[in-house]
A and B are shown apart, each in its own frame.
Chain A
Amino acid sequence: MVFEKDLNLYATELRLGLPGSSEESIRISNKRALPDMNDDSGVAAAKKCDQETAPPTKAQVVGWPPIRSYRKNSLQTKKTEAETGGMYVKVSMDGAPYLRKIDLKVYKGYPELFKAMEDMFKFKVGKYSEREGYNGSEFVPTYEDKDGDWMLVGDVPWEMFINACKRLRIVRGSEARGLGCVV
């Protein structure tokens, strides 16, 4: 039967174990062999013995092991908002068929937030003035606050904004008229 044949080991085939030792007596190290790395089997096994130093951080290969992200997340205990630290809100734009998510805590103020949104959706925010709202742009950034009202982004101080903002939506300028403004 074909399975009983001995397979030829190629000279370059991956072998696990210290160089010069017999194959049977070496326990396989669980170290992952990364495809691009020039990993001598000797190096991997030697590192296993070197327990005093911290084990090298495993560079994770994207896509391996093939586990869906919601599964990976569910293995972690449920974290409260405070623990995770991020303030993620979804950003959508009228006419764009996709949503993005951003962490508001990452930005120090409105200019940085706008730059990020402009990069994400390929548009320009326009100039803001308290009286007129946004000028010179087809699109206007708005947000939904904790009360469910839609407001123009930039009306309130930044700290107040990030605490109130539940999500962002970039609307067409024509639809932004008449949005509730705080003041």
Chain B
Amino acid sequence: MQKKTAYSFPDEILEHVFSFIHSGKDRNAASVVCKSWYEIERWCRRKIFVGNCYAVSPTMVIRRFPDIRSIELKGKPHFADFNLVPDGWGGYVLPWISEMAGAYPWLEEIRLKRMVVTDESLELVAKSFTNLQVLVLFSCEGFSTDGLAAIAASCKNLRELDLRDSEVDDLSGHWLNHFPDTYTSLVSLNISCLGSDDVSFSALERLVGRCPNLRRLLLNREVPLDKIANLLSRAPQLIEFGTGTYAAELRSDVYSNLAEAFCNCKELKCLSGFWDAVPAYLPVIYSVCSRLTSLNLSYAPIQNPDLTKLVSQCPSLQRMLVLDYIEDSGLEVLASSCKDLQELRVFPSDPFGEEPNVSLTEKGLVAVSSGCPKLQSVLYFCRQMSNAALVTIAQNCPNFTRFRLCLLDPKIADYRTLQPLDVGFGAIVEHCKDLRRLSLSGLLTDRVFEYIGMHAKKLEMLSVAFAGESDLALHHVLSGCESLRKLEIMNCPFGDKALLANAAKLETMRSLWMSSCSVSLGACKMLGQKMPRLNIEVMDEKGPPDSRAESDPVDKLYIYRSVAGPRFDMPPFVWTMDEDFASELS
């Protein structure tokens, strides 16, 4: 047969074409077309996302991609946010920084989520990456303001420093002083997680004053309200602002200064902070309200009618985070005022209270679903739900991409019919064909999982707690959800059979977390032997698994695919079930 010679483009042209492809998925697809595309692509890839820092080693990344400028790494499993992952589990960034220090001297962006970052790591970052522009530490821990001082002192081109939700050891507010006087490039600063009483306010003021491109400034709780006006007057170009504590004695001079300062911020679109907020000072932001697209009041203890009055003044809202003080009545006002709303998060003000302290029920969510046609993303904590409400919500909002419902009593039934909530969640997955993320709660049988497996074809992340009755439930999900990447399960009565029957599926996912379920040690060992490219990690703080019977359920199980093999930095309470495990311990 005659072989047609391909008329191939010179490498430079292919590289130029690739420079327009930014999405990692597209680049991955291009790289498997043929060997020469693989080679060209890897030399010109500049940005990499590693969803699980243990799925690949830094050496492997560097070997394949010699010139990366932007890296994003994620460490601990999501349930670490809720204290399910003990201290010392892992997710250390130091090995990555150490290797990248030599390989990527031109690194510009580092984004980390749920990783342990020590001062030593930050000092190494400061020393090695002189061109660093973006440092985002999202839900990280392990470092102090000393590490931040090193970054401030050395990173002359830093534009963005974002410590969102991280746990920082505040030793001294003076780290801000380490930004040299010549440093003026700050665009985004998020220090809302800092707790120190000693954020050097004068240093902050000077910093803000000399950075004309500052667009985003999120302060920590310790910054008093009477300092805000001065700060805002130095940065009227801000687009996003987070206050500190929003409580103070009502004083007319403070009030009018604040009102004027906010009024002068003509580009302000996003507000947050509002810790300890008192109603007296809320009207100072009224001049900004009509422009606001994002409002985070989830730390504000304000109640109705002040809360609803504020919300009613913000017709442009796209994103709303609030405590359940808003109540059903406030959500009804939101539904009628904010037609552009895309994302709603309602958090509980008294999550452990025995009785409801506010009148927030399923009715509020139904109202918003009905009034806000663009609603796509919901996180809703409440105490009662019905299938009828969920069906209505699903029919109102077929465009949902993220739906997370948290009933404070995790096994509560439909309060009107006492049925499980299977039908309601079934309606969600059936109507919302683009649903990517789903969190279930309430009384749920295997049925709901059957619906999910049948309909949730675009679902990427599923969170389950106290649900289901048998392995069928897990089997439905693993065999039906084609796009599933992350599955996290707590306190459900299933395990072995479904896992073993769907072992291959696990290699197509990023990770699976199961805690307080019924997965036996024997099944874990079998999986470990059968699936060499999965890391099967069993976590048990009570002692080594071999001290118990094979049929005993493991406490916590974390399974993830990896090309790097089992990790070496496991703490004493984590065991990996690789092929050698069985022989090692006997």
By the criterion CB–CB under 8 Å, are A23 and B418 in contact? Answer: yes
Q: Which residues of chain B come closer than 8 Å to A16, judged between CB atoms?
A: 413, 418
**B245, B350, B391, B516: the one within 8 Å of A78 (CB):** B245
Nearest B residue to A29 via CB reads B409
By the criterion CB–CB under 8 Å, are B427 and A74 in contact? Answer: no
Q: Which residues of chain A come closer than 8 Å to B370, judged between CB atoms?
A: none
By the criterion CB–CB under 8 Å, are A167 and B142 in contact? Answer: no
- Check B79 for interface membership: any CB of A closer than 8 A: yes
By the criterion CB–CB under 8 Å, are B94 and A28 in contact? Answer: no
Q: Which of A62-70, A128-136, A172-180 contacts B (4 or more CB under 8 A)?
A: A62-70
A10 to B443, CA, bound (A): 13
Which among A23, A30, A90 has the greatest number of chain B C-beta atoms within 10 A?
A30
**How close is A128's CB to chain B, nearest CB, in angstroms?**
25
- Check B144 for interface membership: any CB of A closer than 8 A: yes
**A30, A63, A90: the one within 8 Å of B409 (CB):** A30
A64 to B87, CA, bound (A): 19
**A61, A74, A97: the one within 8 Å of B94 (CB):** A97
By the criterion CB–CB under 8 Å, are A32 and B410 in contact? Answer: yes
By the criterion CB–CB under 8 Å, are B422 and A7 in contact? Answer: yes
**A10, A55, A66: the one within 8 Å of B406 (CB):** A66
A98 to B117, CA, bound (A): 8
**A17, A58, A70: the one within 8 Å of B352 (CB):** A58
**A3, A66, A74, A167: the one within 8 Å of B82 (CB):** A66
By the criterion CB–CB under 8 Å, are A98 and B171 in contact? Answer: no
By the criterion CB–CB under 8 Å, are A99 and B142 in contact? Answer: yes
**How close is B449's CB to chain A, nearest CB, in angstroms?**
14
By the criterion CB–CB under 8 Å, are A98 and B142 in contact? Answer: yes
- Check B280 for interface membership: any CB of A closer than 8 A: no
User: Given A14-B411, A30-B383, does the pair A90, B169 have CB atoms closer than 8 Å?
Assistant: yes
How many interface contacts (CB-CB < 8 Å) are there between A and B? Answer: 136
Q: Which residues of chain B come closer than 8 Å to A10, judged between CB atoms?
A: 445, 469
- Check B503 for interface membership: any CB of A closer than 8 A: no
Q: Which residues of chain A come closer than 8 Å to B584, judged between CB atoms?
A: none
**How close is A176's CB to chain B, nearest CB, in angstroms?**
18
- Check B355 for interface membership: any CB of A closer than 8 A: yes
Nearest A residue to B92 via CB reads A97
Q: Which residues of chain A come closer than 8 Å to B349, judged between CB atoms?
A: 75
Nearest B residue to A100 via CB reads B87
By the criterion CB–CB under 8 Å, are B221 and A78 in contact? Answer: yes
By the criterion CB–CB under 8 Å, are B82 and A31 in contact? Answer: no
A86 to B416, CA, bound (A): 46
Q: Which residues of chain A come closer than 8 Å to B420, judged between CB atoms?
A: 7, 13
| B residues 322-372 in Cβ contact with A at 8 Å | 347-352, 354-356
Nearest B residue to A101 via CB reads B169
**A14, A35, A63, A99: the one within 8 Å of B443 (CB):** A14
By the criterion CB–CB under 8 Å, are A14 and B410 in contact? Answer: no
- Check A116 for interface membership: any CB of B closer than 8 A: no
By the criterion CB–CB under 8 Å, are B275 and A74 in contact? Answer: yes
A129 to B363, CA, bound (A): 70
- Check B447 for interface membership: any CB of A closer than 8 A: yes
- Check B61 for interface membership: any CB of A closer than 8 A: no
By the criterion CB–CB under 8 Å, are A167 and B419 in contact? Answer: no
User: Given A30-B354, A70-B193, does the pair A65, B381 have CB atoms closer than 8 Å?
Assistant: yes
A33 to B410, CA, bound (A): 8
By the criterion CB–CB under 8 Å, are A68 and B82 in contact? Answer: yes
- Check A155 for interface membership: any CB of B closer than 8 A: no
A7 to B418, CA, bound (A): 12
- Check B165 for interface membership: any CB of A closer than 8 A: yes
By the criterion CB–CB under 8 Å, are A98 and B88 in contact? Answer: yes
By the criterion CB–CB under 8 Å, are A30 and B355 in contact? Answer: yes
Q: Which residues of chain B come closer than 8 Å to A58, judged between CB atoms?
A: 352, 354
| A residues 60-97 in Cβ contact with B at 8 Å | 60-72, 74-75, 77-78, 90, 92, 97
A137 to B516, CA, bound (A): 41
By the criterion CB–CB under 8 Å, are B169 and A7 in contact? Answer: no
By the criterion CB–CB under 8 Å, are A61 and B419 in contact? Answer: no
User: Given A65-B408, A90-B144, A98-B88, does the pair A7, B447 have CB atoms closer than 8 Å?
Assistant: yes
Instruction: Enumerate 10 A-B pairs (CB-CB under 8 Å) in ascending A order.
Output: A7-B419, A7-B423, A30-B383, A30-B408, A67-B351, A68-B165, A70-B165, A97-B94, A99-B142, A167-B144
Q: In the A-B complex, list the 6 residue pairs whose CB atoms are closest, starting with the nearest.
A: A63-B82, A97-B92, A90-B169, A63-B84, A3-B423, A32-B409
User: Measuring CB to CB, which residues of chain B are less than 8 angstroms from any residue of chain A?
Assistant: 79, 81-84, 87-88, 92, 94, 116, 118, 141-142, 144, 165, 167, 169, 171-172, 193, 221, 245, 275-276, 298-299, 301, 347-352, 354-356, 381, 383-384, 391, 406, 408-413, 415, 417-420, 422-423, 426-427, 439, 443, 445, 447, 451, 463, 465-466, 469, 490-491, 515-516, 569
A-B contact sample (11 more), CB < 8 A, given A3-B426, A74-B221, A97-B142: A3-B423, A7-B419, A7-B445, A7-B447, A31-B354, A66-B406, A67-B82, A67-B348, A69-B83, A98-B87, A99-B118
